[in-house]
Structure 1
Amino acid sequence: MTGYARATGAVPGASFACEVKSVNGRGLDIRLRLAPGFDALESDIRQRIGKQVTRGSLTLNLSVERDGAGGDLLVNRQALATVLAAIDDLRSAVPAAAPPSLDGILGLKGVLEQRDRPISSDAEESLTSAILDAASRALSDLVLARRQEGSQIAAVLLDRLDEIETLVQRAEVHPARSRDTILAKLRQQVADIAADIAIPEDRLVQEALLLATKADIREELDRLTAHIASARQLINGGGAVGRRLDFLAQEFNREANTLCSKSNAVELTAIGLDLKAAIDQLREQVQNIE
């Protein structure tokens, strides 16, 4: 979701620059910093952003410079009155060798204001149109930059999915999942605990079946496989898939947790922990895409 773009332009009487940048964000957060006098463009610019961007924290800066030949220098009467009143209040309290000079008073911030001379309505309309066109061009370049970053992240996500799939396949064929392995382990445990007590074979088989049912991770493996296929389809399909991939990453993690809790072997638990690590890496990268 990160990117930067800049577009500039000029019309008779003014030049301008439009800069737009974006960083990662859970939703779409738009911040506009428009040059004074151009607040009326905010609604139009927000609509243009919303049509091209759906996620990220985006900032657009617009600066406008009028041609320096014109402009009026005006005295801010209110600011001047405030300064003169302050001088009168301080005259008796603060000794001064000489009274304040005119150029010193006019040099105070806010007393003199430079105001651009108004331009014709046709020129103003031309400037507005050119600024909106520049904003659209900057947004298009930003989207292109974000797509280039997204294509690189997509390759990383597919690598993580391959890693997750390999771990799922390892869990699928692990011998600890078979009823015969569970039965043999149960026999050994009984022999270690009560070697002199005879337990009927059918009772051992029933207990082994019960343990195998509790430790069955077939459902979790099937769901993980389905999630892998869905994630690949989303990535290869393109578009704004960040939120859906984020949801899938949560589901991946849920299944990995259940697999670890059902595990009846140290090796299977280790596979589950590796799964969680790979899923965490997947989810971290998902936060970077739209």
Structure 2
Amino acid sequence: MSVHSMTAFTRVEHAAAFATLTLEVRSVNQRYLEPTFRLPEALRGLEPHLRDALRKRFARGKVECTFKLDAADTGQAPAVNTDYLAELAAALEIVQREVPGTAAPTALDLLNQPGVLDSGHRDREAICAAARALFTRALDELEDARAREGEKLAAMITQRLDGVSREVAAVRALMPQVQKAQRDRLLERLSEARTELDPQRLEAELVLVAQKSDVAEELDRLDAHVEEVRRRLGEPGPKGRRLDFLMQELNREANTLSSKSLVAATTRSAVELKVLIEQMREQVQNVE
């Protein structure tokens, strides 16, 4: 079955001469895709690329991506990003011109600005290339983890679907007996009351009793929804929202069946159906 969970976690690492990159990706259930990134300054410019790559792989889930960059000890002093420093100086001139009297920052203030010091990261292109490759590897592992978890979800949902089918079959087999008992009970009450009804009126009363106890439509719809859930589980691509809707429909039919119940056996089946459907609904919340 092609079912992917939204819950998964992976941690990958890449050690190079210039630095060690570590990436943790954590995914939990969410109605839509909600990516968040925690990136070191050297990788800030990669966020649009990473976000786009993530959206191409996943449709739903809250996905937290945390990069850590530990620079290798090269024995060299941190380099100053002169281009960025020039941009800061130009911006400061505009601020001081537009807002006279603004205090100028000290040299130490400028050095403390993110991006001014390279902190030993000489080869930014190499770092970014390694980060992109590591992110692709992490997405591969996350997708595999979501698929493995999805197999477990599908197995649990299928097990409950089998239970729903058994309960529906049990109620269906019981209905002729229930309807006959209701008919006999009505005739017995009329006999005890020594009430005589004309045949047409009697037939109308019997039809009314049969209609009140008839749950054939509900049972048919339950079977149809079960088959639709099975079909959806086998389809490729995201399916969580559709499955959630089907759980609502299953629960609606189970409630109607419960309201029409006339004997303890069908009441027990209706309660069991609600339990099975609720268990499925809880699992469906994690399906992508």
Q: TM-score range by the shorter chain?
A: 0.7 to 0.9
* 1:206 aligns with one of 196, 204, 207: 204
CA contact (8 A) 1:231 1:248 kept: yes
Shift of 1:250: 0.7
Q: Indicate if the aligned counterparts of 2:71 and 2:121 stay in contact, CA closer than 8 A.
A: no
Decide whether the 8 Å contact of 2:111 with 2:117 is kept in 1. no
Give 5+ residue unaligned stretches, structure 1. Answer: 75-109
Alignment of 1:100-115 (within 5 A): 115=117
User: Counterpart amino acid of 1:23?
Assistant: V
Q: Is the 8 A contact 1:45 1:135 kept in 2?
A: yes
Are the equivalent residues in 2 in contact too, given 1:176–1:264 (CA < 8 A)? no
SS of the residue 1:50 aligns to: helix
- Using CA pairs below 8 Å that are at least 6 residues apart, which structure has the higher relative contact order? 2
Residue 97 of structure 2 is matched in structure 1 by none
Alignment of 1:207-286 (within 5 A): 207-286=205-284
Count of matched residue positions in the alignment of Structure 1 and Structure 2: 252
How big is each residue's C-alpha offset from its partner over 1:147-199, in whole Å with a ceiling of 9 and x where there is no partner? 1111112111111000000001111111357654332121233345xx23323
Equivalent-residue separation in structure 2 for 1:275 and 1:147 (angstroms): 28
CA distance in 2, matches of 1:253, 1:276: 6
Q: Secondary structure of 1:174's partner? A: helix
1:4 aligns with 2:40: no
Task: Flag the 1:217–1:70 CA change in 2: closer, same or farther, 3 A.
Answer: same
- Aligned pairs for 1:76-155 (under 5 A) are 115-117=117-119, 123-155=123-155
Listed one character per residue, the Cα deviations across residues 93-135 of structure 1 (whole Å, up to 9, x for unaligned) are xxxxxxxxxxxxxxxxx89959435756xx3222212101101
255-264 or 199-208, larger mean C-alpha shift = 199-208
Of residues 193, 196, 215, the one that matches 2:194 is: 196
- Which residue does the alignment assign to 1:174? 174
- Amino acid aligned to 1:224: L
Deviations 1:191-241 (A, max 9, x none): 45xx23323344222111022123322221111111111111122334322
Task: Identify the range of structure 1 (137-146 vs 172-181) with the bigger mean alpha-carbon deviation.
Answer: 172-181
Q: Which has the larger radius of gyration?
A: 1
Whether the 8 Å contact between 2:179 and 2:213 is mirrored in structure 1 is: no
Distance 1:265 1:178, change over 3 A: closer
Structure 1 pair 202–18 and aligned structure 2 pair: CA distance change class (3 A)? same
2:53 to 48, 52, 57: 48
Question: Percent identity of the aligned residues?
Answer: 35
What is the alpha-carbon distance in structure 1 between the residues aligned to residue 176 and residue 266 of structure 2? 8
Aligned partners of 1:176 and 1:182 also within 8 Å: no
Q: Which amino acid is the alignment partner of residue 261 of structure 1?
A: S
Q: Summarize the Cα distance change of 1:223–1:115 in structure 2 as closer, same or farther, 3 Å threshold.
A: same
CA contact (8 A) 2:78 2:120 kept: no
Which SS does the other structure have where 1:21 is aligned?
A: strand
Instruction: Select which of 58, 61, 71 maps to 2:77.
Output: 71
CA RMSD, aligned part only?
A: 2.6
What's the TM-score once normalised by structure 1's chain length?
0.78
Provide the C-alpha distance between the structure 1 equivalents of 2:63 and 2:208, rounded to a whole number of angstroms: 56
1:24 maps to 2:24: no
Question: Do 2:79 and 2:120's aligned partners in 1 also have CA atoms closer than 8 Å?
Answer: no
- Evaluate the alpha carbon distance shift between residue 117 and residue 265 of structure 1 in structure 2; reply closer, same or farther with a 3 A threshold: closer
Q: Secondary structure at the match of 1:39?
A: helix
Check 1:274–1:41 CA distance in 2 against 1; reply closer, same or farther (3 A cut). same
Q: What is the alpha-carbon distance in structure 1 between the residues aligned to residue 278 and residue 119 of structure 2?
A: 59
Distance 1:159-1:185 versus aligned 2 partners, 3 A rule? same
Residue aligned with 1:282, SS:
helix
Deviation at 1:54, TM superposition (A): 1.7
8 A contact 1:2–1:23 mirrored in 2 = yes
